[in-house]
Amino acid sequence: MRRIAISDIHGCAAELDKLLEKTKALASEVIFLGDYVDTGSNSLDVVERVSEWCSQGAIALLGNHDDLFLRWLEGKEIIYFYGKTGGIATINSFLDRIGLEPVEYTQLLHDENKENDIRKKIQDHFQPQISFLQSCPLFKQESDFIFVHAGINPKKGLEKTTRTEFLHLRDEFIYEYNGQETVVFGHTPTRRLHKSNEVYFGSNRVIGIDGGCAFGGQLNALIINDDEFSTEAVLKTF
């Protein structure tokens, strides 16, 4: 069966639509590796598109930014950090849907009551979308492949990898992994790994696919067909 992996969409809804069309994807073939929200301007649209694809058979994993958004909604993450890491764009995409004016980072930073009011409005109006993100698993293993947002513990293996590691690992996993399965991951932009936004194929059976779309790069698709790899990409449009 063909498998199409896409990661780190970060609110780039138009690019996601183009990539799915370009790959002629069927829902049952697609696995999303997380980070649907933050930075890009259409986080809510992306969450809803991914959710719809999952209702038809796709798989969606949790990313660290999705987790950060959920933690902010639960009052477990301060706006000082969340707002600095792309969260204001996500908040505004939800506010726009219900006809409210966008907010600035500094507004929420200095007005806890306003922050709490906005948090409650999002919770009240968008429970299905929130519940969808809460339901996303941390990894998916299929045959000789492991799909994950950030990585797995290279010393302890998949079963002993912690939630934090699934969502946040970078170099320790990328360069020290030596397992038998091929691990497909996002989270770390490929330009940091080989100075290119193209898919990164490591010599130690790790494949990085985060093309940095929301940061002016591209949205990548890794296509696995009978253990053969190919790629497609859509450049960021402004």
Checking if the pLDDT of 34 tops 90, the result is yes
The predicted pLDDT at position 96 comes to 98
Rg (CA), the chain: 17
Q: What is the pLDDT of residue 238?
A: 75
Do 90 and 11 touch, CB atoms closer than 8 A? yes
- The C-alpha atoms of residue 189 and residue 200 are separated, in whole angstroms, by 9
Please give the single-letter amino acid code of residue 76.
K
Strands 182-185 and 145-148 come out as: parallel
The reply to whether 112 falls in a domain is no
Per-residue confidence (pLDDT) for residue 227, from 0 to 100: 83
> How many residues does the structure list for the chain?
238
DSSP 103: -
Look at residue 44 and tell me if it is in a domain. yes
Tokens representing 122?
A: 């999002």
Domain that holds residue 139: 3-66+133-235
Q: Is residue 107 part of a domain?
A: no
> Based on the structure, what is the number of domains in the chain?
1
Tokens of residue 83, six digits: 């707002």
Residue 231's CATH number: 3.60.21.10
Q: Is residue 47 predicted with pLDDT exceeding 80?
A: yes
CA distance 4 to 137: 17
| Inside any domain, residue 10 | yes
Note the pLDDT tens digit of each residue in 81-94: 999 999 999 999 99
Q: Is 101 left (phi over 0), alpha (psi -120 to 50) or beta?
A: beta
Residue 237 has pLDDT above 90, yes or no: no
Does any domain span residue 88?
A: no
Contacts of 131 (CB under 8 A, 6+ apart): none
Nearest to 3 by CA among 182, 218, 175, 163: 182
- The answer to whether the predicted template modeling score (pTM) of the entire model surpasses 0.95 is yes
Average pLDDT over residues 177-192: 98
Question: In one letter, which amino acid is 63?
Answer: G
On the question of pLDDT at 146 being above 90, the answer is yes
Given a cut of 90, whether residue 51 has pLDDT beyond it is yes
Say if 197 falls within a structural domain: yes
Query: Is 228 within a domain?
Result: yes
Alpha-carbon span 150 to 174, nearest angstrom: 9
Note the pLDDT tens digit of each residue in 221-236: 999 998 899 999 999 9
Q: Compute the distance between CA of residue 145 and CA of residue 204 in angstroms, rounded to an integer.
A: 13
Helix residue ranges per DSSP H, the chain: 13-22, 43-55, 64-73, 79-82, 88-97, 105-109, 112-125, 127-134, 163-168, 171-176, 191-194
* Mean pLDDT for the stretch of residues 209-222: 98
Task: Output phi, psi for 130, to 5 deg.
Answer: -65, -45
Say if 162 falls within a structural domain.
yes
Extract the tokens encoding 178: 């030596």
Are 61 and 137 in contact by the 8 Å Cβ rule? The answer is yes
What b/e sequence results for 31-70 when a residue is b if at least 16 CB atoms lie within 10 Å of its CB, and e otherwise? bbbbbbbbbbbbbbbbbbbbbebbeeebbbbbbbbbbbbb
